[in-house]
Every structure is written in structure tokens, then in C-alpha cells.
């Protein structure tokens, strides 16, 4: 093996073990309900109260309360919006979460992405699988281990996002608040969630009346 091949093998092996060490995804616990009115952002009507908390960060380390997902959300251009919803009146209300929208500061309206982020493929792992065939067996084994861990991380991330997401149609109970997340994949990467506006449609099942609750962050 010549010097170039040795350098290539060393670089590939280092890359493999780097991705192996960073390819784990930790599923963090679901937060507990605290009551919508205790959120920094909350809105209410005569029959419903909603607490809202947007998550859009690059540093995934930290307290699960402030970093509920073990992923660089900003790097993936994803806003994870935590909603705690509680009925305060007698009306039979539902929220079709699929119709929730996020409006950016520039006026761009972003539709709900459900848990689409969790199903994204890792291009990095695919590239690493193809490349090592020209390098020594050690590099190939390292990359295979890396690829397995990346696949496992993607699977764990999919499970986490899906398990924490709100259903497509939320029937709002009066006794106990409903807590869950909705996700938006942004067309760009703004520096923060400041200035974004969420619009949540609410429907009265008995009368068919519809109204929206809005919150600007």
C-alpha cells in the first residue's frame, strides 16, 4: 500500500470512528404538563387555552426541558413546537393539527411537516459506505460500524419524534391538558424563532364554527 493509500485509510478510519462516536441518538423524556397559562407564550379563547414553546437550537446538549430532542434542530432547519392544550368551556372542540401553519418574519408560510424530519435519510452514512472499498479492511469495518450506528440513531430519532407528536386531529378534553409537538421544516435557516407566528385552527364539532388562535414568538 503506498503513502497515499495509507493516508486515505487513516483519514477514513478516523472519520468512521468520529461518526460512530457522534451517531447515537438519546431519546429524552416527554415533559410533564404544567398548565397552558404557565407558558411564556400562551393564548386563550372562551373555551380553550393553549401554551406554546418553540424549540430551534443548534447545541443539542443540555437539560431535556430546554433541549427535548437530541439533534441539531437549527442545522436541519426544523422548528419543534411544544403545545399544551386544555379546554376551559363546554364546547366540543377539535384542532386539526395538520392545518397548523408557521409564518416566518419575511411572510413565508410554512405548513406542518408532521414528523418528516425523523424519516430523513443520512447522506453522510451512504457516502461512507461507498468510499471504503478502495481502502483497507480496517477502514471498511470502521465505516460499517459507523453506518450501523447512524441507521440506529435515525431509527431512534424517528421513534422519538413520532412518539412526541400530536395526532392529526386533537379532541380537547377538559379534565387533563394534552401535551405534544408539531414540526416545521423551514425553507431557510433564520438565526432564531423570534418573530415567527404560529396559527392554530380550532373547530367546534357541534356547530361547525371555526376560529384561529395566533401567537408571535
pLDDT digits (tens, 9 = 90+) for 172-210: 987 789 999 999 999 999 999 999 999 999 999 999 999
Most confident of 39-48, 167-176, 192-201: 192-201
Beta bridge partners of 216: 197
Q: Are strands 48-55 and 101-103 parallel, antiparallel or unpaired?
A: unpaired
Whole-number Å distance between alpha carbons of 213 and 36? 14
Question: Which residue in this structure is represented by grid cell 457522534?
Answer: 22
Burial class (CB in 10 A: 0-12, 13-18, 19+), 85: buried
Mean pLDDT, to the nearest integer, of 104-124? Answer: 68
Quote the percentage of the chain above a pLDDT of 70. 71
Judged against a pLDDT cut of 70, whether residue 114 lies above it is answered with no
Mean pLDDT, to the nearest integer, of 60-72? Answer: 90
How confident is the model at residue 153, as a pLDDT? 61
Q: Which three cell numbers stand for residue 109?
A: 408560510
Mean pLDDT, to the nearest integer, of 14-43? Answer: 75
* Residue with the larger pLDDT of the pair 159 and 148: 159
Q: Which three cell numbers stand for residue 122?
A: 443520512
Whole-number Å distance between alpha carbons of 109 and 165? 21
> Helices in 91-194 by DSSP H: which ranges?
123-130, 137-164
* Residue with the larger pLDDT of the pair 136 and 164: 164
Whole-number Å distance between alpha carbons of 37 and 215? 14
Mean pLDDT, to the nearest integer, of 163-173? Answer: 93
Judged against a pLDDT cut of 80, whether residue 52 lies above it is answered with yes
Whole-number Å distance between alpha carbons of 34 and 47? 19
Confidence of residue 79 (pLDDT cuts 50, 70, 90): very high
Whole-number Å distance between alpha carbons of 11 and 143? 11
Confidence of residue 81 (pLDDT cuts 50, 70, 90): very high
pTM over 0.85: no
Mean pLDDT, to the nearest integer, of 14-36? Answer: 69
How confident is the model at residue 6, as a pLDDT? 46
How confident is the model at residue 46, as a pLDDT? 82
**Helix, strand, coil percentages, rounded to 5, for the chain:** 30, 25, 40
* Residue with the larger pLDDT of the pair 171 and 9: 171
Judged against a pLDDT cut of 90, whether residue 118 lies above it is answered with no
How confident is the model at residue 113, as a pLDDT? 87
- Would you state the torsion angle of the CA atoms of residues 111, 116, 121, 122, taken in this order, to the nearest 10 degrees? 80
Amino acid at each position: 500500500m503506498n503513502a497515499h493509500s495509507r493516508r486515505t485509510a487513516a483519514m477514513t478510519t478516523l472519520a468512521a470512528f468520529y461518526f460512530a462516536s457522534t451517531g447515537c441518538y438519546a431519546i429524552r423524556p416527554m415533559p410533564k404538563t404544567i398548565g397552558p397559562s404557565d407558558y411564556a407564550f400562551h393564548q386563550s379563547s372562551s373555551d380553550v387555552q393553549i401554551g406554546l414553546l418553540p424549540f430551534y437550537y443548534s447545541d443539542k446538549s443540555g437539560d431535556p426541558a430546554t433541549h427535548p430532542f437530541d439533534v441539531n434542530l437549527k442545522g436541519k432547519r426544523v422548528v419543534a413546537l411544544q403545545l399544551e392544550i386544555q379546554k376551559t368551556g363546554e364546547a366540543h372542540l377539535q384542532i386539526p393539527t395538520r392545518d397548523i401553519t408557521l409564518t416566518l418574519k419575511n411572510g413565508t408560510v410554512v405548513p406542518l411537516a408532521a414528523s418528516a424530519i425523523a424519516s430523513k435519510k443520512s447522506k453522510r452514512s451512504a457516502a461512507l459506505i461507498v468510499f471504503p472499498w478502495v481502502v483497507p479492511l480496517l477502514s471498511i469495518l470502521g465505516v460499517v460500524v459507523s453506518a450501523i450506528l447512524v441507521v440506529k440513531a435515525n431509527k431512534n430519532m424517528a421513534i422519538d419524534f413520532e412518539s412526541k407528536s400530536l395526532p392529526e386531529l386533537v379532541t380537547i378534553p377538559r379534565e387533563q391538558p394534552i401535551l405534544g409537538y408539531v414540526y416545521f421544516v423551514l425553507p431557510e435557516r433564520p438565526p432564531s424563532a423570534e418573530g415567527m407566528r404560529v396559527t392554530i385552527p380550532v373547530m367546534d364539532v357541534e356547530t361547525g364554527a371555526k376560529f384561529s388562535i395566533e401567537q408571535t414568538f
